[in-house]
Amino acid sequence: MLPTAHEEAAEPARDDRFAEDLSPLLYAELKALAARAIRGERSSHTLQTTALVHEAWLRVADQRRLDPVNRGQFLGLAAQMMRRVLVDHARRRAAAKRPTSDERIPIEEIDLPGSDPHRSGFDNGADLIQLDSALGRLHEISSRQAKVIDLKFFAGLELEEIADVLGVARPTVVRDWRMARAWLQRELGQV
Amino acid sequence: MNSARSEPNYARAQQVVHEVFELPLGERVERIAFLCGGDSALAAEVDWLIKAVEDDALDMVPESVGAVARDIANEWHFAATIPGNYRLLKAIGEGGMGVVWLAEREVGGARQRVALKKLHTGAVAHRSRLIEEQRILATLAHPNIARLLDAGEDRHGAPFLAMEFVDGERIDHWCFARNLDLRARIALFIKACAAVSYAHQQLVIHRDLKPSNILVDASGEPKLLDFGIARLISTEAAQRTATRFMTPAYASPEQLEGRPLGTATDVWSLGVMLYELLCGARPLQLFDLDHAQALRVMSGGVASADESMQASFRADEAVAAHGLSIPADVDAIVRKALRREPELRYASVRELAEDLENFLAARPVLARRGEWSYRASRFVYRNRWPMAAGMTALIVASGFFWRTAVAEREARLQAQVAGRTTEFLISAFALSDPTQAGRHDFSAREVLDRGRARIDQELADQPLVRARLLEAMGTAYRGINEGSAGAPLLEAAAELYLHPGINQPLAAARVLRAKAAAILDSRGSTQAALVAAQRAFDLVQVHAPDDLLLLADAHGALVPALNADAKEDRAVATAREALRLRELGTTDPAALASGNVELCAALSSSGDSLAALPHCERARAMYASAGQTRSNAYRHALRNLESVLAYLGRHEQGIAMARERIALTAALFGEDSAVLASERVWLIVRLGEHGLFEEASDLLTQGMPVILARNGKNSSQYARALFCQGWLHYLQGQFDLALPPMRLAVEIQTQQVAGRDLGTLHVLRTTLAQVLIESGQANAQARELLESVIAERNQAGSTSNALAYARLPLAQWHAAHGEAAAARVLLDQVSAVGAGVEQELHARVAATRAALFAGEGEFVNAEIEARSAYEIMRADRGDNHPRTVLYALAYARAARAAGELAVARALEREYQPELTRVFPAESAYLEQAAAAVQPQ
């Protein structure tokens, strides 16, 4: 028996309300966390998605007095939010990008503490926008695989945790993950 | 891309893959063939996906995700958070790197006026400065700092900052235009200081403080502007640029010399500004110096420049011109801010502001004290509540270090120490995470033990961190009632603080005080406690002889140690001195209250409860009015008050205090805490005295198991509990039940303190002897117990009040052995102590005299004494008190013996029912009464 369709139909309606309720708050929270990272309050300048998501969880849970039982749903949502934050950012950057003229210094070349000296250009952002739309298509084919990717990429979860969150067996998640990765690779030709 | 073609196949193929992977290996090929049903495209897709599933090299997250995340972290602020349309109105300022415009910004239909800072076209080199300013401003949110509203790039890609527009006047112009008086100027300046101090807390040094950067708005609020050359303390920013861009007149010597800058540079600039605000002129010698000249002055190129500069700070002359009279205190404050050596200035802007507040509040100012670094130790000491388990001290201490960062390097060092300390503790606690350690739960004790085991091996090369950790953990042990485990750690911390490499004698004094307290808490050697307290005292006397509060603390720590070592008179004198010093040194109600508690405890221990009472009552009222009734200090005050009230015979009040205290203890320490258990057990004595035997018995049932579980059989706490158990039986006349636990208590306590603790052991021995004698066993052991107590007390220079409690039962012993003369000598000594002791002591004296007279056949005298005993008890404790009943019936017996049958019958009618009501059936008191009545 193929579990995919069955399981997704069985998701309770309550989760949607929960998601609707929480997501602007969570989005703001993630943004604030990302913004905070630049101010040097965190010891590391590398934004770690896992750490951010967990911290956002702690804060949101604190504010809303959420039952920790919802952690799984939260993480799924957090992953989506994180993706949105990142993609929005990449879009804005892509929109702002214009042909360079000689008297202007591209912002990437300003030496900022914590920025990666080996990074050049802004191609990663373009990758991300493509990745985002590809994930949209994947969602149409198998929403569970798209969720697996979200949780892995944007919430930094281990496959074990993803299995917990989605309530499926670990081998299933491993297969979903590897097949979806292969599919994305083929779609984008580069991921 | 082939997605359009492959998607239907992919959707189907991945289902196939999921399905076949659930099958045994051997069945897969066949199943795939079946499911694909000859569709070769699908079969190829399945084949491809099976390879993908078997390839674990794909498990990495793509770099592009992480890279964009890093982009966000690095460049979040370059995108205008709200896309706003700006309209430039007019230029309101121009500097070396750009122009500040007054601009209008549209946000959601509303218009807002902002100050828009833009770089000159082509000022590419300054771009990083603007970005740095933006980064810094983004960390600052303070009502007295102009806010960053937006940042981004304009249409041409040039960066801009949009700031809160402050429509105001320069602070100096504002003051002079309104002819503000001295106090108003200082108050305004303090607000500006708050903004700078806040920035320092965020690790930002302004470096260009001057009147034109502080505007006062229409509501009179100063706003700090222009963080254009500010630097984060943590960045290794080039100091040279600071020299280039600053305003020389306000620049500190170290700034002019291009030395590394700390927060002290802002203290200097504020000092110049304060001088200017008050006098209308800058310190003269700096006034006309251009940059080059200033540099020469500071580097010593101009002879005696420093001296003339210092001389110019005499505010008096400038003052006369402006009609403001500058008090000596303010002069001292300005001078302290303008010390050439950064380390001699105020340690922080906050300290400068506090000193100005001291001046405004007519308190002594720091600037005029010889020693001012005491604050560091004071701060920690004030937060010394032991149950905060040292963690509070740590958190407080690390916060504190950020605030008073003397200079960049020191701030970093201390942050490192605090950070390292916290890290270590966290790692110790991480082990208590049940999921990590595979155990259900850890007690605080276990966590501390683990931490202690690791300190020496892991932090061998970081003595300061080790010292702070040892201190924190020693305090924490004390907090969980394990002072005996904490004391050696505190000693080790003291050694480290005293090590020449660290050399923090006042910190050493602080931990030695804690050590003394830890030893006393755990009923350890009173001599060791006294030695520790004395060492702390000596260190403070040598290293901070002018610091009243530290000296007061040093005296204060000696008091309980002296008391415990039965040196009551010295304890009282020391406590008086401590209180006197506190009253000179502070107006802080909590500090004064704790001084009063100390004195109360000392007086009470010396037996002078009457003198003690007002101090305890004052302390309680002080805590209450300061709103500090949920603190351990308040609990401590209640405990002393309670004991004094009991000694004064105000038992109901005393018991009410005890109940309040126990409720507070339960709230502060938890239901199964050892502290609560030992308090409950102690209250047994008071309740028993009052005839509340049942409630007392309940407390014993609640407390005893906790004490056994927490402290074990071989502990002073258990000894005390046993004593209380025995005493409760004694009070009910159950002598047979009383003696075994009391004997065991003496035995355990003797082992525990190995002959060194005098106070508690004396009480235990005295009461054991008393019970022996009163139960008709006035044997050699009883006499020996009492005589040894008296001898040791005499040797310790004990006051007669304390001796009285041992002399009285010894008098009873002699009376029981028919040695009337010896008994009377002792009774006279006891009578001589006067009104300062429990009234019952006097009643017992009278009762013993009555017994002596009765033994001599002098029944009339016996009756007089017996009546006296009864009346003392009745006045002290009321008609219903169980011992009033006993003394009444003793009086009845004496009256009967003297032939006063009517008196005897009246008393018996009134009190006999009480006797049977209050005491249990098997009570010896019932037998005594029955035996006395029967033969008649």
Least Cα distance to B523 among B172, B748, B331, B757 occurs for B757
**Structure confidence at residue A44 as a pLDDT band (50, 70, 90):** very low
Contact criterion met (CB < 8 Å) for A191 and B68: no
Q: Which of B68, B126, B139 to mutate to test the interface with A (most CBs of A within 10 A)?
A: B68
Residue B555 has which token pair? 């005296």
Q: Which residues, 6+ apart, have CB-to-CB distance to A62 below 8 Å?
A: none
Within 8 A of B122 by CB-CB distance, chain A residues are: 103
Single out the residue of B422, B390, B387, B416 nearest to residue B401, CA to CA: B416
- Which positions 188-247 of B are in contact with A (Cβ < 8 Å)? 232, 234-235
Produce one character per residue of B656-693: b if its CB has 16 or more CB atoms within 10 Å, e if not.
ebbbbbbebbbebbeeebbbbbbbbbbbbbbbbbbbbb
What's the pLDDT at B320? 42
Q: Using CA of residue B269, residue B270, residue B274, residue B275, what is the dihedral sign?
A: negative
Radius of gyration in angstroms for the set of CA atoms belonging to chain B, rounded to a whole number: 39
The β-bridge partners of B204 are B232
Please tell me the distance in Å from B24's CA to the nearest CA on chain A.
14
Classify each residue of B184-215 as buried b or exposed e, where b means 16 or more C-beta atoms within 10 Å of its C-beta: ebbebbbbbbbbbbbbbbbbbbbbbbbbebbb
pLDDT of residue B515: 92
Does the beta-carbon distance from B64 to A115 stay under 8 Å?
no
Please enumerate in sequence order all residues whose Cβ is within 8 A of that of B779, keeping only pairs 6 or more positions apart, or say none: B772
Chain B CB within 8 Å of residue A38 CB: yes
Nearest to B232 among A40, A98, A119 (CB): A40
Q: What span, in angstroms and rounded, lies between the C-alpha atoms of A79 and A157?
A: 9
Q: How much is the pLDDT for A34?
A: 58
Q: How far apart are CA B241 and CA B131, in angstroms?
A: 15
Average pLDDT of chain A is: 62
CB pairs under 8 A between A and B: 158
Alpha helix positions (H), B775-881: 780-795, 800-816, 820-831, 839-855, 859-877
CB contacts, 8 Å: A132 with chain B: none
Task: Say yes or no: B141 contacts chain A, CB-CB below 8 A.
Answer: no
Q: Give chain A's radius of gyration (CA, Å).
A: 18
In angstroms, the CA B157 to CA B138 distance is: 20
Residue B863, pLDDT score: 92
Among all residues of chain B, which has the CA nearest to that of A38? B73
When pLDDT is cut at 50, 70 and 90, the band that residue A27 belongs to is low
- Separation between Cα atoms, residue B277 and residue B640, nearest integer Å: 52
- B9, B14, B121, B204: best mutation site toward chain A, by most A Cβ within 10 Å? B14
AA identity, residue B570: R
**Beta partners for residue B103, in sequence order:** B88, B114
Distance of CA B558 to the CA centre of its chain: 19
**Token code pair at residue B310:** 């210092």
Chain B hits for A105, CB-CB cut-off 8 Å, are 124, 127
Q: Minimal Cα distance from A94: which residue of B?
A: B79
Interchain CB distance below 8 Å, A141 and B11:
yes
**Interchain proximity B19–A119, CB inside 8 Å:** no
How far is residue A111 from each of residues A90, A107, B148, B476, measured CA to CA in Å?
A: 20, 9, 22, 46
**Residue in A90, A179, A186 nearest the CB of B68:** A90
Element (H, E) at B101: strand B98-107
Structure tokens at B210: 């001057």
Q: What is the pLDDT of residue B785?
A: 92
Distance of alpha carbon B668 from alpha carbon B658, whole angstroms:
15
How confident is the model at residue A17, as a pLDDT? 45
- Interface check for A14 against chain B (CB to CB < 8 A): the answer is no
Best A31, A86, A91 member to test B by mutation, with max B CBs in 10 Å, is: A86
Place of tokens 């210092």: B310
- ipTM score of the complex? 0.71
Shortest CA gap B403–chain A (Å): 16
Pick from B2, B58, B71: CB nearest A181: B58
CB B162 within 8 A of CB B149: yes
By the CB < 8 Å criterion, does A129 face chain B? no
A39, A41, A179 ranked by CB distance to B52: nearest: A179
- Asked if residue B622 lies in contact with residue B584, where contact means CB atoms within 8 angstroms, the answer is no
pLDDT at B615: 93
For chain B, the straight-line distance linking the first and the last C-alpha, in angstroms and rounded, comes to 123
Cβ atoms A80, A150 nearer than 8 A = yes
Helices and strands: H and E segment counts in chain A? 8, 0
CA–CA separation, B482 and B501 (whole Å): 30
- H or E element that contains B839: helix B839-855
- For residue B648, give every residue at least 6 positions away whose Cβ sits within 8 Å of its Cβ, in sequence order, or none: B609, B610, B613
Decide: B276 and B172 in contact? Cβ < 8 Å: yes
| CB contact at 8 A, B680 and B712 | no
pLDDT value, residue B61: 65
Q: Phi, psi (5° rounding) for residue B111?
A: -105, 140
Question: Please, are residues B514 and B491 in contact by the beta-carbon 8 Å criterion?
Answer: no
* Among B854, B765, B851, residue whose Cα is nearest residue B812: B851
pLDDT of residue B433: 37
Q: Which residues make Cβ contacts (< 8 Å) with residue B464, sequence separation at least 6?
A: B417, B496, B502
**The pLDDT value given to residue A12:** 34
HSE value, Cβ hemisphere, 13 Å, CA-based, for A186: 19
- Whether A189 and B1 lie within 8 Å, measured CB to CB: yes
The Cα B901–Cα B894 span in angstroms is 10
pTM over 0.90: no
B11/A38 Cβ within 8 A = no
Query: Judged by CB atoms within 8 Å, which residues 71-100 of B form the interface with A?
Result: 71-79
Q: What is the pLDDT of residue B485?
A: 81
Count other Cβ atoms within 10 Å, centred on residue B849: 25
Residue type, B279: C
Q: How far is residue B716's CA from residue B719's CA, in Å, rounded to a whole number?
A: 5
- Please name the helix (run of DSSP H) or strand (run of DSSP E) that holds residue B170, with its range, or none: strand B168-170
DSSP string, A106-117: PGGGS--TTS-T
Any B CB within 8 A of A136 CB: no
Q: Point out the residues of B that are catalytic.
A: 208
pLDDT at position B931 is 74
Phi then psi for residue B113, to 5 deg, are: -90, 130
Q: Which of A33-42, A172-181, B60-69, B324-333 has the lowest mean pLDDT?
A: A33-42
User: Which strand (E) or helix (H) includes residue B883?
Assistant: helix B882-897
Token reading at B693 = 């035997």
* Residue of B9, B10, B154 to mutate for A, most A C-beta atoms under 10 A: B10
Closest to B873 in 3D by CA, of B895, B851, B860, B891: B891
Phi, psi for residue B362 in degrees, rounded to 5: 60, 30
How buried is B538 (Cβ within 10 angstroms: 0-12 exposed, 13-18 middle, 19+ buried)?
Answer: middle
On whether the CB atoms of residues B224 and B214 are closer than 8 A, the answer is yes
Q: Give the chain B residue whose CA is nearest to the CA of A32.
A: B76
Q: Tokens 């590391």: give the residue.
A: A44
Check B70 against A137: CB less than 8 A apart.
no
More confident residue, B29 or A81: B29
| Residue A142 contacts B where some CB pair is shorter than 8 Å | yes
- Distance, in Å, from the CA atom of B171 to the CA atom of B169, rounded to the nearest integer, reads 6
How many other C-beta atoms can be found within 10 angstroms of the C-beta atom of residue B910? 14
Q: Output the CA torsion sign for B739, B744, B749, B751.
A: positive
Determine the distance in angstroms separating the CA of A21 from the nearest CA of chain B, rounded to an integer: 23
Verify whether the Cβ–Cβ distance B65 to A35 is below 8 Å: no
For residue B541, CA distances in Å to B4, B45, B297, B597 come to 87, 87, 40, 23
- Predicted local distance difference test score (pLDDT) of residue A146: 92
**pLDDT for residue B886:** 92
The pair of structure tokens assigned to B518 is 């830890």
Those residues of chain B that have pLDDT short of 70 are: 1-7, 57-85, 88-91, 93-99, 107-109, 119-129, 154-158, 228-248, 282-325, 364-448, 457-458, 460, 479-481, 753-758, 798-800, 834-837, 932-936
Query: Cα separation of B422 and B380, whole Å?
Result: 16
Q: Do B68 and A128 touch (CB under 8 A)?
A: yes
d(C-alpha A127, C-alpha A131), whole Å: 6
Residues in A 51-80 with any Cβ partner in B closer than 8 A: none
Q: How far apart are CA B39 and CA B8, in angstroms?
A: 12
Pick from B7, B67, B157: which is nearest to A124 by CB? B67
- CB of B436 less than 8 A from some CB of A: no
Residue of B nearest to A124 (CA): B64
Q: Please give the sequence-ordered ranges of beta strands (E in DSSP) within B209-341, or none if there are none.
A: 214-217, 222-224, 231-232
CB of B287 within 8 Å of a chain A CB? The answer is no
Model pLDDT, residue B358? 84
The shortest C-alpha distance from A86 to chain B (Å) reads 6
> 3-state secondary structure string, B266-292?
HHHHHHHHHHHHHHCCCCHHHHCCCHH
Please state, in angstroms and rounded to a whole number, the distance separating the CA atoms of residues B318 and B275: 10
Using the Cβ of B113 and the Cβ atoms of chain A, whether some distance falls under 8 Å is answered with no
* Closest C-alpha among B216, B179, B174 to residue B195: B216
Cβ neighbours of B78 in A, within 8 Å: 107
Q: How far is B666 from chain A (nearest CA, A)?
A: 27
